[in-house]
Amino acid sequence: MIPTTAGTGSEVTFTAVFVRKNLKKKEGMNSPYLYPELALLDPELTLSLPPAPTAQTGMDALCHAIESYTSINASPMSEMFSLEAISLIAENLRACVHDGKNIAARERMLLGSLYAGIGLANAGVTAVHSLSYPLGGRFGVSHGLANTILLTPVMAFNLPGAVEKFADIADAMGECTEGLSDREAARLAVEAVEELIGDCGIDAAIRDFGVKESDFPALADVAMTVARPLENNPRKMTKEDMIAIYAEAY
């Protein structure tokens, strides 16, 4: 497999995602047969990617890294890859968005996406993906953008269940946490991701895609069926919690 975005990390994962258009439903499939036999990362193939998909796919990779790091199934090995992915993406995504021909930054983003994919394949993702699937299936929101819109609201929700890990994420994002409590540092992680999203020119809300407040309960019902990411989540999430998160992303 040769990826042309950085990205989904599909070159090292066992997951395929598809939309059943007749049902307006997005679903995932996992199988060891989906692992590619070979992955070639060539940054030159990403140089022509426009700023918007560069930003959205890069944030998708960051989402994979953050979710796999905070997953209850994380291990020392997966955590190593996830944290390094966070650092690489935080250091290089802005450069890729603002200067698409920066081949050094493009190369590091491909590596960050790959590392995030390794983290994902070993630890899984969490509630962001459960919440984003119905947005993609019913309203056609691209995967990376849906994850971006939902990432910081879910991080803020999950923070009480993984304070030390979110403090680690702040460090990996390059934030100065010296002298701060773990909770203060953890909050910096959410703020750092919000800042990165803004710096990459992403300014979107779910209302932009035709979502209405009256849709929240039905969206939450579908999200509750995307069970595996919810099982990985560091904090139990109810339907009412999901509705509140959709409202925050509105």
Q: Note whether residue 3 is domain-resident.
A: no
Distance CA(160)–CA(70), nearest Å, equals 12
Q: What's the number of domains the chain is made of? A: 1
Q: Note whether residue 5 is domain-resident.
A: no
Q: Note whether residue 208 is domain-resident.
A: yes
Q: Note whether residue 64 is domain-resident.
A: yes
Which ranges constitute the DSSP H helices of the chain?
A: 51-70, 76-98, 103-123, 127-139, 143-158, 163-172, 182-199, 216-225, 227-232, 239-248
Q: Note whether residue 1 is domain-resident.
A: no
- The residue assigned the tokens 């929700």 is 157
Q: Note whether residue 74 is domain-resident.
A: yes
Cβ atoms of 130 and 83 within 8 Å: the answer is no
What's the half-sphere exposure (Cβ side, CA atoms, 13 Å) at 120? Answer: 32
- Output the six-digit token pair for 216: 């929240």
User: Which of 50, 64, 37, 66 lies closest to 172, judged by CA?
Assistant: 66
What's the half-sphere exposure (Cβ side, CA atoms, 13 Å) at 215? Answer: 16
Q: Rounded to two decimals, what is the model's pTM?
A: 0.96
| Over residues 89-114, mean pLDDT | 98
| Over residues 8-13, mean pLDDT | 95
pLDDT category, 26, cuts 50, 70, 90? confident
* DSSP designation for 87: H
pLDDT digits (tens, 9 = 90+) for 190-244: 999 999 999 999 999 999 999 999 999 999 999 999 999 999 999 999 999 999 9
pLDDT digits (tens, 9 = 90+) for 122-154: 999 999 999 999 999 999 999 999 999 999 999
Supply the pLDDT for residue 28. Answer: 84
pLDDT digits (tens, 9 = 90+) for 31-83: 999 999 999 999 999 999 999 999 999 999 999 999 999 999 999 999 999 99
Domain ranges, residue 67: 10-248
CA 244 to chain CA mean position, Å: 19
pLDDT category, 27, cuts 50, 70, 90? confident
Residue 162 above 90 pLDDT? Answer: yes
Distance CA(173)–CA(192), nearest Å, equals 7
Q: What is the largest CA-CA distance in the chain?
A: 54
User: What CATH number corresponds to the domain at position 69?
Assistant: 1.20.1090.10
Q: Note whether residue 58 is domain-resident.
A: yes
Q: Is 18 helix (H, G, I), strand (E, B) or coil?
A: strand
Pairing of strands 15-20, 25-30: antiparallel
Q: Note whether residue 71 is domain-resident.
A: yes
Distance CA(162)–CA(158), nearest Å, equals 7
Q: Is 250 helix (H, G, I), strand (E, B) or coil?
A: coil
pLDDT category, 160, cuts 50, 70, 90? very high
